[in-house]
Amino acid sequence: MSANGESPSDEGAADQFIGGETEGGPTVEFYGGRGMSAFPIAFFIVWAIVQTALWRIGDTGGLIVGILVGLIVGMFFARGDWKDYANTIFEGMTQPVAVTAIVAWIWAGMFAQLLQDGGFVGGLVWLADAAGVGAALFPAITFILAAVFTTGIGTGYGSSVAFVGLFFPAGVLLGANPVLLFGAILSGAIFGDNLAPVSDTTIVSAVTQDADIGGVVASRFKYVIVAAVIAFVGYVVAGGMMGGLEVGAEAQAIFLESSEAIGLVHVISMLAVIGAAVAGRHIVEAISWGIVIAIVFNLVFGLASLGDIVMFNAPEDAPLAQPLESLPILTIVEDADAVGVTGSLMSGVAGFLELSILVLLIIGAAQIMIRGGAFEVLLEWSIENLATNVRNAELTMVGTAALINAIITINTAAEVAIGPYISKIGERFNLNGYRRANILDGQTAAMGYIFPWSGGVLAAYGAMQQLPGDYEWFEQSMIVTPIDVVPYVFQGWLLVAVFIIAALTGFGREYVTDRETEEVARV
């Protein structure tokens, strides 16, 4: 082509366009070449597969040990001064992307717990009953309610657990197919995890692609809703075809036992957060408003007491405990093990503490891979061999994001690791931040809830195993084996399919020249 008409005498060399991948050497060198810098992450992936898939231990603390051992062993492969290796871990851990996500999880965790403790799920159950939902329709309705709930609270893990605890036994009791019902709950979690402005994966996808959260949510609606409409029809049709289990009718009262309409007042708390976030308010501000409103509703409507929200459990010998015992937030406990702070705010935060540490360490290890050159090897190979045009580049983004998320149990952690890679491939073809974030998060949300070792499935399966102890009529045989649910997570499979079709056809594609993402500093 006539690209370089005015170039200097050496026209052959001037025609040679060179990309950024060869610019600058790695700052940490490894014995065995650049690929060895992937050792800490690779070790962690193997550890995670063995721990969660082969041995079925969904313990985040164990994964933290896995990444720590990977980082320590990896250091022995580093050439030269190991101080550079150590500093690279710090460089990764102190990236704004990590702390931004952690701050948002902690806020979202408190909000989610306030809604759960304020009887929101009970309110939804009441509504389903009042509307006369039968066994065949129950999975489809559960899908919608789980989707709405997750969209409000932003944590698919939390809502999987909550819905398996409440909707699953209710549906089984009504005669709905348990495997389909489990799939519907996971599908709802995927919908919300993908779309909610307060979802950890939504936040990570936006931040890593330099996009504002409100714009990301609005622009991904088209993919999510197309998949969801088909998934809903799928659950309606499958619900009519797949029968349920025989359960004694005497226990149907359980269905309404914990269900009160007043919990639905938290729809307003949810809408406040969604509205504020989509309107572009800082995510901390948006969720703080949700927290304030949820606390007011819980107290005014008697859904939870002040002590349920925060409670100091002090020992008997504490100097100021006895005189202030009348305070509603103070209890004196005799048992030394019971000393501590409890309540919605505390348990909401606690759920994210281990995940926060894990994610910090994973992006420290990811930085080793980036500075050591393994990411460059992967990038150069896929840019040269796979991402040869914009369509193939998008298919490569879908495929790699899905693969990494299918392998790493905690989908947010996988997203943090693969985010920069999606950014690099997408920017090469000037795909805008919204499109990149949507491709990234579609696969992240979907793959986090499909396989037996996925975090969402593990959390929900854990909750299901408690049901035989909770209800006399619930037999051990009614528990769904995680591998059985894989084909029935319709929203997950459809979301991946929608993105493959979107890459092939250009549906929803936006370039940097079409629309710039808005200021990301709000986050």
Partner 1 sequence: MSLLGKYFKGWRFRTSRPALEQGSEVDVFIAESNGTSGRAYIGDTELIVEGAGPDCIEKQVRVRVTEFDEAAASGRGEFVEVVGESSYDR
Residues that bind partner 1 (CB under 8 A): 1, 3-4, 6-8, 13-20, 23, 95-97, 208-210, 214-215, 218-219, 221-222, 278-279, 389-391, 420, 423-424, 427-431, 433-434, 505-516
- Phi and psi torsions of 342, nearest 5°: -130, 180
For partner 1, the closer CB: 10 or 334: 10
CA distance 517 to 216: 9
For partner 1, the closer CB: 51 or 219: 219
**Residue 76 CB-density burial (10 A; 0-12 exposed, 13-18 middle, 19+ buried):** exposed
CB of 104 to partner 1, least distance (A): 17
CA distance 136 to 509: 37
For partner 1, the closer CB: 52 or 202: 202
Concatenated DSSP letters of 471-495: -TT--GGGSPPHHHHGGG-HHHHHH
CB of 211 to partner 1, least distance (A): 9
Residue 487, token pair as written in the block: 């084909």
For partner 1, the closer CB: 94 or 481: 94
CA distance 60 to 353: 10
Residue written as tokens 């854990």? 462
For partner 1, the closer CB: 4 or 481: 4
For partner 1, the closer CB: 84 or 210: 210
For partner 1, the closer CB: 308 or 415: 415
Q: What is the largest CA-CA distance in the chain?
A: 91
Identify the CA nearest to 152 among candidates 262, 258, 293, 256.
293
CB of 237 to partner 1, least distance (A): 26
Q: For 136-170, b where at least 16 C-beta lie within 10 A, e where not — what string? A: bbbbbbbbbbbbbbbbbbbbbbbbbbbbbbbbbbb
CA distance 250 to 257: 13
For partner 1, the closer CB: 70 or 419: 419
| Range 328-336, long-range pairs (CB < 8 A, 24+ positions) | 331/307
CA 332 to chain CA centroid, Å, is 38
For partner 1, the closer CB: 117 or 394: 394
CB of 217 to partner 1, least distance (A): 8
Query: SS3 of 30, please?
Result: strand
CB of 82 to partner 1, least distance (A): 24
For partner 1, the closer CB: 97 or 445: 97
Query: SS3 of 106, please?
Result: helix
CB of 506 to partner 1, least distance (A): 5
CB of 465 to partner 1, least distance (A): 40
CB of 376 to partner 1, least distance (A): 11
CB of 396 to partner 1, least distance (A): 14
CB atoms within 10 A of CB 262: 16
CB of 359 to partner 1, least distance (A): 16
- Phi and psi torsions of 431, nearest 5°: -75, 135
Residue 358, token pair as written in the block: 């894990």
CB of 441 to partner 1, least distance (A): 15
Residue 240, token pair as written in the block: 């009519």
The sign of the torsion formed by the CA atoms of 269, 272, 275, 276 equals: negative
CA distance 85 to 125: 53
For partner 1, the closer CB: 18 or 131: 18
Residue written as tokens 């406040």? 272
How far from each other are the two terminal CA atoms of the chain, in whole angstroms?
43
